[in-house]
Structure formats: structure tokens, C-alpha cells
Amino acid sequence: MVLYTPGRTSGYPEERVESGIRLHFLGGGDEVGNVGCLLEDRTGTRVLIDYGLAPTRPPRYPKECPPIEHTIITHSHIDHIGMAPWLVGQHGATLHGTTLTAAVSEIMWRDTYKVSSIEGYPLPWDKRDLDAALNAWQTHDVGEWFEIGEWKCRFHRAGHIPGAIMIEIKTPELRLLWSGDIDIRDGPNVRGAEPVNCDILCLEATYGGREHPVRATEEARFVSRVKEVVSRGGVVLVPAFASGRCQDILRILHRAAPHLNVHFDGMGTRLTRHWLSHPEHIDEPEHLREVWNWARIVSSKSDRKKALDADVIVTTSGMLDGGPAIWYLNRLRHDSANAILLTGYQAEGSGGHRLLDKGSLRIFGNETAIDLEVTQFQLSNHAGHSDLISFVRACEPRHVVLFHGDDDARSAIAAEFTESPTPSLPLNGDTLNLN
């Protein structure tokens, strides 16, 4: 099923913008991920920010984008870049991003393509679009001004994952800051985002209304579980996202328990190689290199068998929806000394969610009971509620546009601002005109 066909209407307003800026949400308004938002002003300058897909079964796509020349990609997570090959294939768009985002996009797109073939959900783009997208990048350094039409744009570090950026846009009338996915706290691999003064702040609201446990305390709880499982003779399986969480876990373990025998498998290993080639986006890159040399990288079937005798195996997928994690789990499930430590949110419908909920999950097509310790940790790379609120105050905007969050999350943030800034909670397909 191909969802997008040329010539279809997009629902994008046809009239010209009179003043201020127009925002039109194709996706990622009242939902996490699946982001795509068009910005346009009276000069006719038009930019799309992100064009992702939600990797559900079947995947969800943002609404069809009208003709576009310039797209700014905030970071390489698939819910922000998954549909970029379609934009390039269909509209010949240029993709603006950091060098690291551009470098890892190939791995992300090829993996998405592979998974879609395996699961039988054809994508709206094909391999030719993917190859074209790889040549469509125009990269910019963080802090460097560049021009798109009548606008001046500049990237700022977003925290979240290495290479992730916030976008500052100066139109002839106003200054806008688009947060992308942000974390204000310093993480193991990247420093937190810093506020930027602006008139309009578009803010991701994933964790609105929810606070994270103190990161250092949660990391210590994780390490202490790992040590306990190892001391009882078990192997710890840590399913973790390839882009960010795997590398965070390795750094935490290396700092707190360097004596452990830690194996690293899956797509995260290939991503980390790109991280190492772009040290300008990494906090303390020399430590990451040390960690890389310390961890045992799994690169063959025999390495994988050897990893079964490790203390810890860090691998994808983070929500136990496939990848080497399932292969390991199938081997490790027979010894109750072993444990599975989940490192973050497990979406409804994911293997990890099923495991927490029912104590079983599908292994190679068969529902299988898992009689092992399963403990969940919150090592998120998104800002929690209070951090989001202080970030808004420090940016001093007139308007705050809350996106990338469910209604409860967005309302919780909006409720903090009764006078200024004015909050907007756009739905997908909504158009906002702000001055």
C-alpha cells in the first residue's frame, strides 16, 4: 500500500501569509514522533522542519507535504527523518542538518527499509529515493548562520543525542526557536541544551506533566542491579536504542564498573563508529573512544555465541521488537540467574511492554513465557516537566507552541503559563498564524 501519490492535495493553505509566521503541522502535533511542520512568512520563504514516521505496525506517516525546497532535520531518530527520502524523491528537497545527522541517516533509512520489507509494510519511498536523499544533505556547524530565502538560520545543541539541534530562525519580522527533541540535563554523551531568546518558541512536550528521577540516582540504581545479577552468576541483557541509549549505557558501566565484561551488539555499533568520526558533537569524545576499546564489539556469529558468557550484553532493539536482543533473550531465558534490564519507555504494543505486562513476548513468531527478572529504568534523553518550564521562561518568548506530546502532557505545560507566553496546542493538520 503506497499512501502518497503525486498530485494529491495536502491540505496546506493556498493563501499568502500577510504578517508574522504561519505554522502548519503535517504530523507530530498531538502525538510523540511522526514530526513534520511547515513554516512560511510573507516573503514566501517556506521551510519544512523534520519529516518522520512513527515505527508502529503499520507505520504512521505525517500528512503529505506540498512542494518544498528546504527541509531542516533536527536529528537522526526515525520519527524525525523517516520520510525524508520521499521529500527528496518527490520534491527534490535539500536536507539541512549537522554532519553527524547526515552521516548516520544512511544507517537509519536502510534499517527502516529492511524492517518494512520484513514486516510487509511497503514504504512510500524506495531505494532510489534513499540514494537521492544521501546526496541531498547540506550540513552546517552548530552556531554557524546560514540563509534560506529571506531567513537567517542557526543551529544550537539540543542535548537529546549527539548531533541533535534546535533551530533558531530570524525572519524579517521575528525570531523563532524550534526545540526539536531536547534535554536540558547533561547526559553521558552530550551536554544539555541552553535557552535562546526568541519571540516564538516551538517546544517538544513529550514529558509535560511528568518528572524524571534524578539521573545520577537512576544510573546508580541501574549499576547496582547489574552488579547484583553478575554476582549471582547471571548475564544481564540490556536492550537499548541504537542511537543514544546504547552508548549512554556503555559510558555509565565503564565509569562505574570497568571490571565487567561488557559486549556490544547491533546497529548501535555502526552508529558509534560515526560518532567517533564526528567528535565535535560528543561530550568528552576521548572517553567514548576508551569505552569503544573497552567494550567487546560483536561482529560475527561466533562473537555472538561468545557474548552469551559475558557479564552484560548491550544491544538493540530497545523495545524488544527484534534485533539481536531477541536472539540473546531466546538463549538466556533458560537460566533464572539472568536478567533483563530495560532502559526506558516501552511503547504500547512493543515486545518490552508485553514482557512487563504479561511476562511473555513473541520470539521468532511464538509467544514465549519469560521467567527472568525484568527491571525497568528511566534513563530518558528528553527534558522532564520542570526543566521544560524553566527552559520556556529563560527563552522569554511571546508565544509557546507545544507539539510532540499527548494532550495531557501539553495541557500540563500550558497550565503553567496563564499570562505570558501564550500557549498553542496544535493538532495534526492545524495551521497557526503568529505575530
What are the start-end ranges of the H helices in 232-366? 245-256, 267-277, 285-294, 301-307, 324-332, 351-358
Least distance in angstroms from the C-beta of 12 to Zn ion? 25
Distances (CA, A) of 185 to 97, 191, 246, 276, 333: 22, 7, 18, 22, 36
**Residue spans of beta strands (DSSP E) within 205-269:** 236-239, 262-264
Considering the complex, state which of residue 170 and residue 210 has its C-beta at the smaller distance from Zn ion.
210
Task: Give just the sign of the alpha carbon dihedral 329, 333, 334, 336.
Answer: positive
Q: Does 168 bind Zn ion (CB under 5 A)?
A: no
Q: Residue 170 pairs with which residues in a beta bridge?
A: 152, 175
CB 157 within 8 A of CB 186: no
Least distance in angstroms from the C-beta of 122 to Zn ion? 25
Nearest to 249 by CA among 291, 279, 196: 291
Least distance in angstroms from the C-beta of 402 to Zn ion? 16
Considering the complex, state which of residue 263 and residue 404 has its C-beta at the smaller distance from Zn ion.
404
Considering the complex, state which of residue 181 and residue 265 has its C-beta at the smaller distance from Zn ion.
181
Considering the complex, state which of residue 60 and residue 77 has its C-beta at the smaller distance from Zn ion.
77
- Residues in contact with Zn ion, counted by CB under 5 A, come to a total of 2
CB 58 within 8 A of CB 3: no
Q: Does 181 bind Zn ion (CB under 5 A)?
A: yes
Considering the complex, state which of residue 40 and residue 181 has its C-beta at the smaller distance from Zn ion.
181
Considering the complex, state which of residue 307 and residue 379 has its C-beta at the smaller distance from Zn ion.
379
The helix, strand and coil proportions of the chain, stated in percent and rounded to the nearest 5, come to: 30, 25, 45
Which positions from 63 through 122 interact with Zn ion, judged by CB under 5 A? 77
Q: Does 382 bind Zn ion (CB under 5 A)?
A: no
Least distance in angstroms from the C-beta of 271 to Zn ion? 13
Least distance in angstroms from the C-beta of 53 to Zn ion? 13
Q: How many CB atoms lie within 10 A of CB 362?
A: 14
Binding site for Zn ion (CB under 5 A): 77, 181
